[in-house]
Structure 1
Amino acid sequence: MNANDSIQIDALQKPYFVWFEENWVHDDVLHHHNKGQLVYVESGFQYITIEERIYLLPQNHAVWIPPNAIHKTNSHSEKIKLMIMFADCDKKDAFYNDVNVFSVPPVLREMIKYAERWSKLMTKDPDETVFLKALFNELPHFVKLSLKLHLCLPKDKRLDKAIEYIHHHYRNEIKIDDLGGTASLSARTLERIFKKETGLTISKYQQMLRIIKSLELLSSDTLTVSEIAYEVGYRSVQAYTRSFGSVMHCRPTDFIKKMK
């Protein structure tokens, strides 16, 4: 179900619109809205592509999507609860022009849940307007410590085979020479183009991919931290914890507590 198809968001004559679904299913279609969009994952996890970057939304995380940003939803967990809120934005505030992925603090979480009472309301409601105006006015303060949970999709087609290889073998040690052979590029050329296109070195890209995959597993709550560490390619829990901390600025066990 694509929000653009079933409900014409930009045609609504109201500044805000709330949309909650118990088991949200999207078409994998690129689209955009004139309104900005806040997507909150109450349970499960969701991948979203925004302006050629893939973002992961674990449980109790949200993403702010700027107005007119081209995006689509990707694979997600079998059962997912999403709350999506659209808002007219003050284009003068720089915050609303950037993508932000962040852990939702308890106060904002309760505000989002309270807003469910206006889900799919097509007409203006004064109470809804006042409440959501307050929510969106405070949004920049809630995301000051936003996380960079994304990977860039390279535009250079020479990297297609290398990216595919990394995504299939991220659990294993990846040698630059072997990866260069896969892409028919020298190791030096591959590293240069890769950093230019993704903003990351190959080793950092692999690290981000491992951590993002581990967040998916942590959100599903089916494996222990130790099992997840080995599942995504780390040889010890200590190595995984250090790597996780460098990206997420917390321990895996702290992340699990935040989700509950």
Structure 2
Amino acid sequence: MNLLEEISKEINLPESSIYVMKDQLEDQLPLHQHPKSQILLVEGGLAFLETTNKQFYIPARHYVWIPPDVAHHVKFNTSGITITNIYFQDEKDLEHTFYGQIGIYPVTNLIWEMIRMAEQWQGKIHLGDWRYEFLTTFKHTLPQISTHPLPIVLPTTANPRLIPLLKYLAAHLTEMLDMPAVAEKFGLSVRTLTRLFQLHLGTSFLQYIKLLRIVAAMEMLLNGDKNISEVAYAVGYSNIAAFSNSFQQSVNSRPSEFVRLRNKQKTAASFHV
């Protein structure tokens, strides 16, 4: 039995159980899915949740809700990251908007305290246990608390013409990245490049660049090696106000608030330990 089969059996049986796991095993698994829904909390860095056609970014002090049977793979940007997973029983609740789609949400103080309590209970929790009732109530509370998902979703593609171009964009964020110039560099017309982005990525060239810059900024801010001004210039913004406004539109918080939440989470995690 391989690692995926072993973990899946442990998590998914019996179907009525809830499973709590605080570990980094998820990044060792290939693209996979569970018949149970899942909440995944990130601490200490930025995590990447990949599905078959999208890449979601989970920053500090945020969690992701994963519906059952959604294929996914988790990657980390640092070895110091901690992941807490809770796998919930199927209650046939996918008709609710919250439960039926992947979403990334800020961790409120209430959610933080409830997850802090739950992560002490490693392993299976069965019906009839008071902890089961606690976690079920926690699950039912989430749609009432988490009403504004984080809109940081970067589409991915296996298209051979776009893969090298997207790598080039990620490596040259400090530059202007003018669409005609990029198209010419890769032997494409502007019209063809526009069509490729819409067809395979479902977004425009400019919107993709904007998201790419914000994601890179999030990583830098979480690493803490640069201040906000340095980060802005490093991802291609010459104007700090423009960077702050763009960041706020994408992440629902200013860069300074994002850094504050990162520091708050680190302090809380250290205190918890």
* Fold-level similarity (TM above 0.5): yes
Contact 1:104 1:142 in 2 (8 A): no
Q: Could you say what secondary structure the match of 2:69 adopts?
A: coil
Residues of 2 paired with 1:50 and 1:246: CA distance? 24
Say yes or no: does 1:66 pair with 2:64.
no
Q: TM-score, normalised by structure 2?
A: 0.86
Bigger shift: 33-42 or 177-186?
Answer: 177-186
Residues of 1 paired with 2:215 and 2:27: CA distance? 21
Match of 2:100 in 1: 97
Q: What is the Cα deviation at residue 74 of structure 1?
A: 2.2
| Counterpart pick for 2:17 among 15, 18, 43 | 15
Identity of aligned residues (%): 26
Spell out, residue by residue over 1:81-114, the C-alpha distance to the aligned partner (whole angstroms, 9 max, x if none).
1111111232332321201011111110110011
Letter in 1 for 2:66: I
Match of 1:195 in 2: 198
Letter in 1 for 2:67: P
Spell out, residue by residue over 1:145-197, the C-alpha distance to the aligned partner (whole angstroms, 9 max, x if none).
11111101134433222222212222311122232234432111111220232
The verdict on how the C-alpha distance between 1:115 and 1:55 changes in structure 2, with shifts beyond 3 A counting, is: same
* Unaligned ranges ≥5, structure 2: 265-273
Match of 1:106 in 2: 109
Cα RMSD for the two superposed structures: 2.2
Bigger shift: 110-119 or 90-99?
Answer: 90-99
Residues of 1 paired with 2:243 and 2:200: CA distance? 26
Q: TM-score, normalised by structure 1?
A: 0.90
Match of 1:127 in 2: 130
Match of 1:159 in 2: 162
Residues of 2 paired with 1:57 and 1:236: CA distance? 26
Q: What is the Cα deviation at residue 125 of structure 1?
A: 6.1
Say yes or no: does 1:215 pair with 2:218.
yes
Residues of 1 paired with 2:4 and 2:29: CA distance? 11
Contact 1:28 1:74 in 2 (8 A): no
The verdict on how the C-alpha distance between 1:138 and 1:3 changes in structure 2, with shifts beyond 3 A counting, is: farther
Contact 2:60 2:261 in 1 (8 A): no
Match of 2:249 in 1: 246
